[in-house]
Amino acid sequence: MGLGSFFKRNKKNKIEEVVESHIDINSAGCDGCEKCSIACPNNVLILADDIMSVRDSQVCKSCRVCVAICPNDCITVN
Ligand code: SF4
Ligand code: SF4
């Protein structure tokens, strides 16, 4: 579990702001197949001690590729 974020450009004053997203991994349903971590284009997820974890939430772009590929519906990204 952890917080993800991405930068969003404000066209009016060109200030970048961080938009937070939240990654939840249901470890009880996770079988450690690593499909999510392999598919993630930003290397956000990592298997640690047989538990899928968030390695670096700051680089998550909320693309939800991990959500789509998980065979056990373990991941939610808000
Ligand atoms: S939402 Fe996208 S960037 Fe974020 S962890 Fe999932 S696959 Fe990676
Ligand atoms: S794809 Fe789903 S079941 Fe596989 S390691 Fe990721 S969270 Fe666990």
Confidence class of residue 74 from pLDDT cuts 50, 70 and 90? very high
Query: Which CATH architecture does the domain made up of 2-77 adopt?
Result: 2-Layer Sandwich (3.30)
Report pLDDT for 5: 47
Query: Which residue has the least CA distance to atom 6 on ligand 1?
Result: 66
pTM listed for this prediction: 0.78
Nearest Cα to 36, choosing from 60, 52, 14? 52
Report yes or no: 20 and 62 within 8 Å, Cβ to Cβ.
Answer: no
pLDDT in tens, 15-68: 555 555 699 999 999 999 999 999 999 999 999 988 999 999 999 999 999 999
Q: What is the pLDDT of residue 14?
A: 59
Distances (CA, A) of 58 to 12, 13, 27, 68: 24, 23, 21, 20
Compute the distance from residue 40 Cα to the ligand 1 centre, in Å: 5
Q: Is the pLDDT of residue 72 over 90?
A: yes
